[in-house]
Structure 1
Amino acid sequence: MELAVEKVYSKEILYTAAELFEVNVEEKPLGDFENYLYKAKMSNGQNCVLRITHSSHRNEQEILAELSFLKYVCDNGANAAAPYFSKQGNLVELLPASDGTTFFASLFEWANGSHVKIDDPSIWNDELFYVWGKTIGKLHALTKNYPHTSNRKKWDEEQYVIDLQNDSAYGEYAKRLTHQLNSSEQTNDTYGLIHSDLHHWNFFYDKGVITAFDFDDLQYNYFVHDLAMVLYYSKLSIKGTEEEKNQFYEHQLSVLRKGYETENKLDERWYDSIPLFMQKRDLELYQVLTVKLDGKEMSPSTKSLYDTVKQRIESAML
């Protein structure tokens, strides 16, 4: 979380949010990178997740658009952690901060299962990859029938993309890549409101079922982007030589595609475009890490990731 947000956040805000949703909350966050996330418990003992978002990250309309879409896909058969209403019947509750800004609270189902471990071959295997593809395909099939909302941005309207295009080192490269990606047609069969970040840390897996969560980055983008993000973070996380990672990429894509196409179809050329979307993700990850960690000391693992991403960007620019 940015230092400016940390300075105005407080336990009082956390406990006010918990009261509004009538839950008991654990003080230690599950995560605090872009939102504060907490494990909570309802009066009936059911686990849930309380999320608190600062207005510098999302406004109320953007969050409502996210939660409305999430409720729609859950109501229509997608496997995702659905939002809950507050005791006042709201999906979002407003919490004023001491500096005049606002925090927004929302509550979600607790997904069954757990994160997958990439070093566990009993889980990290073709069965998972197939279900992963199928889960994404289902979301895309549903988004085709969802009304357009002006409260979620197109991918190239996001602030981090705009900032990248003004970056002194990578701006021209970012502009060229954006233009290249947007030269493809945007039709109801290729482009829509998508999760955009369904990597292996954004779902729980249990008995062959994926439950997706963290729709915070919901945006209008090409459908193939969701598949590219699976491959990007999988390849980034697994161990091995570059040749071994490339072999894994080809295999994972083939299995993802089989699962995906049980729910939705894409032309062959979209699969060929995946490396471009992975290059785009390098730029986005560089920008997000730069902003979120400004003024903070990077851990060795984060510094290694940051350096790796920068090196790949600079190699792609040659």
Structure 2
Amino acid sequence: MEQAVESVFTKEILTNAAAQFGITVDEKPVGEFENYLFKGKLADGTDRILRLTHSSHRSKEEIEAELKFLKYARENGANAAGSLTSLNGNLVEVQHASDGTSFYASMFEWADGQLVDRTNPAVWNDDLMYTWGKTIGKLHALTVDYPVTNLREHWDEEAYLNEMLADEELGIFTKDLIEEIQAYERKKDSYGLIHSDLHLHNFFVNDKGEITAFDFDDLQYNYFISDIAIVLYYTAWGSKASFEEKSKFAKRQLEIFRKGYETEYVLDEEWYSRIPSFLKCRDLTLYHVLNMKYEEKTQRVIELCEELKERIVNKKTIIEL
């Protein structure tokens, strides 16, 4: 979390927010990258997640738009941790900070299960890939007829990506890639509100192999294929295998993923040939995030930035499909 946000976040803000949603919370957050996340409980012991978002990150209206879509998706069969209302019946409650800014509180269902252990073949297998595909396919099927809102940004309005345009070395590569993707047609059967970040750390899998997706904070208008590219990207990102081994695995992963995905939704074949563009797009945004979030970079972060930059300059992708 940015230092300016940390300096105005207080125990009182957390306590008041929890009271508005009728829960008690652990004081130690379970997440604090772009939002503060706290595990909490209702009076009957039911687990919940309380999220506090600073006004520098999202507006109240943007968050409400996210939560309304999530509520709609959950009510229509999506495997996701749904958004819940406060004791006052609101999806978002406002907490004012000492510097005049605000924190926006929201509450979610607790996702059963745990993060995927890639070293465990009982979990990290074809069944997971199939279910992962089915989960995203269902979300895409639901977004097709969801009413359009101007309260969630389009992919090319994203700050991280646009700030890369000003980069002295990488700005030209950013501009070329944005223009390439902007040329793709925007039709409701392939472009709409998507999760945009449903990687391995944004869902839990339970002992039955069922997935529950969460963290819809990056919900945006984007091409459906971007969600699929993200799956392939982050599977490769966390692997220590060689480029050839990662590429081979990604091809197999995509094959199984599509079988699950296409039980819920079918994309025209041409979109799969465009995956490399979206892999490159994630390189750009991740490069910016790493440079922005870490004022004092560890050797590992420095190495990651160099790896990203090398791919961007040479117009390469993290895997070859």
Q: TM-score range by the shorter chain?
A: over 0.9
Question: Where does residue 177 of structure 2 map in the other structure?
Answer: 177
Question: Where does residue 319 of structure 2 map in the other structure?
Answer: none
Distance in 2 separating the partners of 1:300 and 1:204: 30
Q: Deviations over 1:263-287 (max 9, x none)?
A: 1111111111111100100001111
Question: Where does residue 43 of structure 1 map in the other structure?
Answer: 43
Cα offset, 1:118, TM superposition:
1.3
Q: Does 1:126 align with 2:126?
A: yes
C-alpha contact 1:196 1:217 (8 A) present in aligned 2: yes
Cα offset, 1:87, TM superposition:
0.8
Say if 1:301 and 1:110 are closer, same or farther in 2 by CA, change over 3 A.
farther
Q: Does 1:79 align with 2:76?
A: no
Distance in 2 separating the partners of 1:313 and 1:120: 33
Q: Deviations over 1:99-121 (max 9, x none)?
A: 11111000000001111011211
Runs of 4+ residues deviating >6 angstroms:
none
Q: 1:139-178 maps to which residues of 2 (within 5 A)? A: 139-178=139-178
Q: Does 1:21 align with 2:15?
A: no
Question: Where does residue 260 of structure 1 map in the other structure?
Answer: 261
Distance in 1 separating the partners of 2:178 and 2:277: 10
SS in 2 for 1:153: coil
SS in 2 for 1:215: coil
Q: Deviations over 1:130-175 (max 9, x none)?
A: 0000100000000011000110000001111221112222111111
Q: Does 1:290 align with 2:305?
A: no
Question: Where does residue 312 of structure 2 map in the other structure?
Answer: 313
Counting aligned pairs with the same residue, the percent is 54
Q: Deviations over 1:6-42 (max 9, x none)?
A: 1111111111111111111001111111000111111
Cα offset, 1:184, TM superposition:
1.0
Say if 1:32 and 1:300 are closer, same or farther in 2 by CA, change over 3 A.
farther
Cα offset, 1:300, TM superposition:
4.5
Q: TM-score, normalised by structure 1?
A: 0.96
C-alpha contact 2:202 2:215 (8 A) present in aligned 1: yes
Question: Where does residue 219 of structure 2 map in the other structure?
Answer: 218
Distance in 1 separating the partners of 2:92 and 2:190: 31
Distance in 1 separating the partners of 2:46 and 2:306: 42
Distance in 1 separating the partners of 2:43 and 2:302: 42
The residue type equivalent to 2:312 in the other structure is: I
* Aligned-residue CA RMSD (Å): 1.2
Distance in 2 separating the partners of 1:211 and 1:3: 32
Q: TM-score, normalised by structure 2?
A: 0.96
The residue type equivalent to 2:297 in the other structure is: M
C-alpha contact 1:74 1:82 (8 A) present in aligned 2: yes
The residue type equivalent to 1:275 in the other structure is: P
Question: Where does residue 235 of structure 1 map in the other structure?
Answer: 236
C-alpha contact 1:118 1:238 (8 A) present in aligned 2: no
SS in 2 for 1:211: strand
